[in-house]
């Protein structure tokens, strides 16, 4: 306690002119002090599909990508039980539209349900068709996206 009180007083007394860069400490910078353990959603996830010609992909970008693209919880959990290159939903080749719809309306493990107010049946159909329509296509996701209208 004494230490912290003394420190508080030192701060009060600190003139602006004293705030010059500190002398570098003798020890080398260590990673722990700079760790940023909580990643944030990537911008590429937030804007995923924004320019797509496919309405299903655009909707996926608005409603799903922030958890399922890049470093976030949907991708993280799927990476634990899917092949490494299929942790993001658009990379999946095994999704059936009906399965997508069932998961969205019922939830799955930590994935919450989506209501018909937040995502109408018509919108969900577009997302499910887009995700599910990829199953027979062996092309890479990007080629696939370009091909679909």
Q: Which of 53, 94, 96, 118 binds another protein (CB under 8 A)?
A: 118
Angle at 91 between CA 106 and CA 130, to 5 degrees: 60
> Residue 88's closest CA among 98, 79, 97?
79
Given 59, 67, 100, 127, the residue binding another protein (CB under 8 A): 67
* Cβ nearer to another protein, comparing 93 with 120: 120
Least Cα distance to 131 among 73, 77, 74, 81 occurs for 74
Contacts of 145 (CB under 8 A, 6+ apart): 52, 54, 57
For residues 13 to 52, the per-residue mask of contacts with another protein, x marking binding by CB under 8 A and - elsewhere, is -x-x--xxxx-xx-xxxxxxxxxxxxxxxxx--xx--x--
The contact set with another protein (CB under 8 A) reads 1, 3-5, 7-8, 11, 14, 16, 19-22, 24-25, 27-43, 46-47, 50, 62, 66-67, 71-73, 76-77, 105-107, 109-110, 112-118
């Amino acid at each position: 306690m004494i230490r912290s009180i003394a420190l508080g007083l030192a701060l009060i007394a600190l003139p602006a002119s004293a705030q010059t860069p500190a002398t570098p400490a003798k020890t080398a910078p260590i990673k722990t002090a700079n760790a940023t353990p909580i990643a944030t959603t990537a911008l590429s996830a937030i804007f995923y599909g924004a320019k797509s010609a496919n309405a299903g992909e655009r909707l996926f970008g608005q409603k799903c990508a922030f958890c399922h693209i890049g470093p976030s919880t949907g991708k993280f959990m799927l990476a634990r039980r899917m092949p490494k290159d299929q942790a993001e939903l658009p990379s999946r080749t095994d999704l059936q539209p009906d399965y997508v719809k069932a998961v969205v309306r019922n939830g799955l493990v930590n994935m919450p349900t989506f209501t018909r107010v937040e995502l109408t049946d018509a919108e969900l159909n577009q997302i499910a068709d887009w995700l599910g329509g990829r199953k027979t296509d062996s092309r890479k996701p990007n080629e696939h996206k370009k091909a679909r209208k």
